[in-house]
Amino acid sequence: MLQIHYFASVREAMGREREQVDLPPDVASVAELIPYLRSRDSAFARMFAEHETLLAAVNQTVAGNERAIADGDEIAFFPPMSGG
């Protein structure tokens, strides 16, 4: 099972802070997780349609879409941040 967290405007768009999702056997990366989440949740599909770029973190480390994921991982989605 994955622990998925939503932060900032992503949390607002999703209407929740977190959820648990069973990891399908054919999903092994962030890139494969995103379309899976889009297909099962209209709020997630809208969020990705409305936000050009979203960042992901796996186990509290910012990760690219190619990053492998496994059962038990913690995934977070959040908008791009600016430094200053």
Q: Measured between alpha carbons, how far is residue 76 from residues 26, 53, 84 in Å? A: 20, 14, 23
What is the C-alpha radius of gyration for the chain, rounded to an integer number of angstroms?
12
pLDDT tens digit string along 9-43? Answer: 889 888 899 999 999 999 999 999 999 998 988 88
Counting the structural domains of the chain, the total is 1
Residue 17 located in a structural domain: yes
pLDDT at 67: 97
**Residue 70: strand pairing partners:** none
pTM: 0.87
Cβ(32)–Cβ(26) below 8 Å:
yes
Residue 84 located in a structural domain: no
The boundaries of the domain holding residue 62 are 2-78
Q: What is the dihedral of CA 52, 63, 15, 19, to 10 degrees?
A: 150
| CATH number of the CATH domain containing 34 | 3.10.20.30
Residue 26 located in a structural domain: yes
